[in-house]
Amino acid sequence: MVSEPSLAEHAYVRGGDTQTPVKILVVGHFAVGKTTFIGSISEIPPLSTEERMTRAGETVDDLKGVAGKTTTTVAMDFGRLTLSERVVLYLFGTPGQQRFLQMWEAMARGALGALVLVDPERLADSFAVIDLIEQYGLDYAIAVNRFDGSPLREERALREALDLLDDTPVVTCDARDEKSSAQALITLVRYLQDRALQEQT
């Protein structure tokens, strides 16, 4: 379980002593690191639907820039992270291939928001993902997954390339690292909390 950093105990709690479940989507294009992200942070053994990629899949999945990838998510990933005694996140990782996008609508139901993982070397692949999340009316934050050897990108350039609103959070993370992944999620949840407070005023 991640103990630092943490949110205020009252975050997303409307009263009472019961634990409040918060559904969060972890989304992104093919091979951006969603399964790795959930696996690095989940306090329970994550549910994963990884299957070996086949020659048939090579004809429909763009493997450019993802050399060495041998498995892919075919349904979803699932993990859990307790942020405090009263707030627990349920993380649903979506498959990244275009042929599985019809599953996203069902997975988006009841979600409070989404963390969009982005590969800085394949920004164009994120456009369709962001469009879908906006179509479903979900607030989101961007987490730029740092791959080995990938260059640093200025936040301003990333915002311009992805056409983001000024208040959309952008963080850099390493999906393999528990603390880094935790910080990305906490940035998202704090943003969702601020948005909820704004809507109440």
Comparing 13-27, 34-48, 150-164, which segment has the lowest mean pLDDT? 13-27
**What is the torsion angle, in degrees rounded to the nearest 10, for the CA atoms of residue 36, residue 38, residue 40 and residue 42?**
-160
pLDDT tier for residue 76 given thresholds of 50, 70 and 90: confident
State the CATH class of domain 20-200. alpha beta
Share of the chain above pLDDT 70, in %: 74
Phi, psi of 148 (to 5 degrees): -55, 125
User: Higher pLDDT residue, 105 or 119?
Assistant: 119
Look at residue 3 in the predicted model and tell me its pLDDT: 41
Is residue 97 predicted with pLDDT exceeding 70? no
The stretch 139-146 carries a mean pLDDT of 96
Pair of tokens at residue 120: 């800085």
What's the burial of 149, exposed, middle or buried (CB within 10 Å: 0-12/13-18/19+)? exposed
Whether residue 73 is predicted with pLDDT greater than 90 in this model: the reply is no
What's the rounded mean pLDDT across residues 83-108? 80
Q: CA geometry: angle at 178 spanning 51 and 6, to 5°?
A: 130
Judged against a pLDDT cut of 50, whether residue 79 lies above it is answered with yes
pLDDT per residue as tens digits for the range 178-192: 999 999 999 999 999
DSSP conformational letter for 44: S
Average pLDDT over residues 60-83: 63
